[in-house]
Amino acid sequence: MLVKILGASAGGGFPQWNCNCPGCQAARLPSGQHQRRSHRAKSLTQSSIAVQASNGTWLLVNASPDVRSQLEMLRGQEEFSSARSNPFAGIILTDAEIDHTTGLILLRESSQPLKVYSTPRVKQALTTGYPLFSTLQNYCGVEWFSLEQTMTLSGLEIEVFPLSRKPPKYMQEKTESEEIWGVGLTFCDRATGGILTYTPGLAELNDSIKERFEASHCILVDGTCWQNDELPALGIGSRTARQMGHLPLSGEDGSLSQLAKLATPRKILVHINNTNPILIPDSNERQAVEAAGIEIGYDGLAIVL
Ligand code: MLT
Ligand code: MN
Ligand code: ZN
């Protein structure tokens, strides 16, 4: 299986258009070509990955507002070389968040209906609160499929498991409190035995998720915030990381110390918010993550499993 991180940042990207936090400032520094070490942080596009079985076609997992430039990253691949192809066997949505779904509208030139896989809850949100599916009807259309707990798609065995009960903001008045809004995905390539688990919106790290992580060769994990009160502390938001359905990295019950103990061969952070100090070169927080044996995801990172 080939996995490509198309975008490693959370919603807003890195740097974000209206943000001047220390990280965004570091991402805007001149490139420093003549210095031995650059203090510039690498820019990141918004949260999405692509996955391909060793003998299959590509699956797009989440469709970010940066999908157009992200797909150019896959240009060299065979599936992208025919005149007017649809290089994806399907598009899987882990939730209905704006940063994970807005790319659908940018794929409207498709010559066939987009094959979209999501939970029924997400489908309903995308036909009512944020009606992307309805909007696409007069363009390429959407052929929707329900994400089943276990399914085989494009040569990959996929398991779907609950991750978060946090609704997208645009649905917060229209939801029951116990509903599952975000899921995680485990992909297994039978031909190679490679297993990937993808959890961009991890609200808690319970035993069943830890077991799943330890049974995977690589995990792509929610790295949204370093601190729970990261946005309120910078004066740029009122909600804590936990209130947004994202377990922060730091602290005794944060994800970093728990991930550090897991035996998974590769642990990579994704969906990293621009305020997270791990994005700043040489920051103490970045060094702490690396010292814990955890990688910080970046656009274009390819993983073969
Ligand atoms: C999230 O990941 O919590 C959302 O994408 C935040 C947002 O609404 O941008
Ligand atoms: Mn997000
Ligand atoms: Zn910022």
* Percentage of the chain modeled with pLDDT above 90: 88
Q: Which residues are CB-contacts of 261 (< 8 A; sequence separation ≥ 6)? A: none
How remote is the CA of residue 37 from the centroid of ligand 1, in Å? Answer: 33
Sheet harboring 114-118: ordered strands across? 142-146, 114-118, 88-92, 58-61, 48-52, 2-7, 302-304
Question: Tell me, what DSSP letter sits at residue 30?
Answer: -
Q: Rounded to two decimals, what is the model's pTM? A: 0.96
- For a ligand 1 pocket test, name from 64, 95, 98 the mutation site with the most ligand atoms within 8 angstroms of its C-beta: 98
183's tokens: 């899921």
Mean pLDDT computed over every residue of the chain: 95
pLDDT at 177 over 80: no
DSSP assignments along 188-217, one per residue: EETTT--EEEEESS-S---HHHHHHHHT-S
Residues with CB under 5 A from ligand 2 (ion): 10-11, 97, 99
What does residue 175 show for φ and ψ, rounded to 5 degrees? -140, 150
59 contacts 53 by C-beta, under 8 angstroms: no
Token pair belonging to 200: 């961009």
DSSP single-letter state for residue 35:
S
Q: pLDDT band at residue 55, thresholds of 50, 70 and 90? A: confident
Residues with CB under 6 A from ligand 1: 10-11, 97-99, 169, 201, 244-245
Please determine, for residue 221, whether its predicted confidence score (pLDDT) is greater than 90: yes
- Residue 180 pLDDT > 80, yes or no? yes
pLDDT tens digits, residue range 86-134?
Answer: 788 999 999 999 999 999 999 999 999 999 999 999 999 999 999 999 9
Q: What confidence category does residue 84 fall into, taking pLDDT thresholds of 50, 70 and 90?
A: low
Q: Which atom of ligand 1 is nearest to the CA of 166?
A: 3
The pLDDT tens digits for 254-281 are: 999 999 999 999 999 999 999 999 999 9
Q: How confident is the model at residue 37 (pLDDT cuts 50, 70, 90)?
A: low
Pinpoint the alpha helices (H) of the chain.
22-27, 67-72, 98-101, 120-125, 132-136, 207-214, 230-234, 255-260, 284-291
Question: Going by CA atoms, what residue is nearest to atom 7 of ligand 1?
Answer: 11
Determine the Cα–Cα distance for residues 246 and 225; give it in Å rounded to an integer.
7
